[in-house]
Amino acid sequence: MSLALLVPGGTGQLGRELAASAPVGAEVHAPGSAELDVTNVGAVVEAVKTFAGTATLPPVVVNAAAYTAVDAAESDAGRAFTVNADGPRVLAAACSAHGVPLIHVSTDYVFPGDADSPYRTDAELGPRCVYGVTKAAGEDAVLRSGARAWVVRTAWVYGAHGANFVKTMARLSTTDDTVSVVDDQCGSPTWTRDLAAGLLELAGLVAGGKEPPPVLHATGGGETTWYEFARAVFTELGADPARVRPGRTEDRPRPAPRPAYSVLSGEEWRSAGLTPLRSWREALAAAFAEDGDAFRG
Ligand SMILES: NC(=O)c1ccc[n+]([C@@H]2O[C@H](COP(=O)([O-])OP(=O)(O)OC[C@H]3O[C@@H](n4cnc5c(N)ncnc54)[C@H](OP(=O)(O)O)[C@@H]3O)[C@@H](O)[C@H]2O)c1
């Protein structure tokens, strides 16, 4: 189904991929914060009103805007809360007022990260860092807004646009003989192209009147550690993966604690008839085949 899409956060790594992946014929408006600041209530209300009034195809808002600096958020909680919780609340209220469905992107950091099996969508939240707290508040605001709204949690996102772990590893592979990467945090790497395809599939469903469950998880399939992920990146770069050494979280304290285990169950996603994202390892190979130059920098 062709769609009209409004993508706040359209200059981010996911937002740019969403805009680029939209089907031919789609009407796409993907503003960055300079054009649409989600903390500016009047601007958000006006943007949704204009979008709803001018779309000639079924309209869907996909919110990719967020304060994503996880460590900086620890000392900038007010700003993180305004962008990650107040912004989505206002956006959802405007979507509700104009009858526009909203898909809101969230994160594995809403969970405590101490599980030993994949988090189901209805697992109890328990964020351990400011970023996670603000994202959980954003989810809550969206789900209580009265809008036709969906929260899609994802994790370990990388893509051609923007800074991310894959690009960091690619850079370090050219500057450092060996690289130490933590081997005691487990999760699921997610390529923006696959995530964007999934979000667009969901957008098509909800624009067509379907009502999948309000909270969904979409990550690359399978699970790994940052260490194994880094080794896979080195392999894709044609570098020796033995140059990656396993490290421990406790040896590298950071302002925001990181979840030890944040694998998300894709069961609800599959049950809703949505296409599961391919395995994280296959996706990484595809990402290098299609966008290798962007990762190598
Ligand atoms: N990256 C990950 O590993 C990861 C993991 C789990 C979940 N997520 C979630 O996935 C979503 C997309 O993340 P991403 O990796 O694409 O993040 P990103 O690359 O940091 O992009 C964030 C986007 O949000 C925009 N933004 C920031 N403040 C804003 C404001 N006040 N008003 C409007 N837009 C604002 C930025 O715009 P400007 O650049 O123009 O300022 C940018 O377009 C977020 O909801 C994030 O929480 C990400």
Write out the chain in H/E/C secondary structure. CCCEEECCCCCCHHHHHHHHHCCCCCEEECCCCCCCCCCCHHHHHHHHHHHHHHCCCCEEEEECCCCCCCCHHHHCHHHHHHHHHHHHHHHHHHHHHHCCCEEEEEEHHHCCCECCCCECCCCCCCCCCHHHHHHHHHHHHHHCCCCCEEEEEECCEECCCCCCHHHHHHHHHHHCCCEEEECCCEECCEEHHHHHHHHHHHHHHHHCCCCCCCEEECCCECCEEHHHHHHHHHHHHCCCHHHEEEECHHHCCCCCCCCCECCECCHHHHHCCCCCCCEHHHHHHHHHHHHHHHHHC
Which of 7, 13, 14, 70 should be mutated for ligand 1, with most atoms under 8 A from CB?
14
Distance 65 CA to ligand 1 centre (A): 4
pLDDT at 1 over 80: no
Higher local confidence (pLDDT), 2 or 14: 14
pTM of the model: 0.98
Taking only the tens place, the pLDDT of each residue in 142-189 is: 999 999 999 999 999 999 999 999 999 999 999 999 999 999 999 999
pLDDT at 253 over 90: no
Show which residues are catalytic.
Answer: 131
Kindly give the number of the ligand 1 atom that is closest to the alpha carbon of 38.
32
Is there an atom of ligand 1 within 6 Å of 157 CB? yes
Is there an atom of ligand 1 within 6 Å of 33 CB? yes
Distance 40 CA to ligand 1 centre (A): 16
Architecture of domain 4-164+189-220+263-278: 3-Layer(aba) Sandwich (3.40)
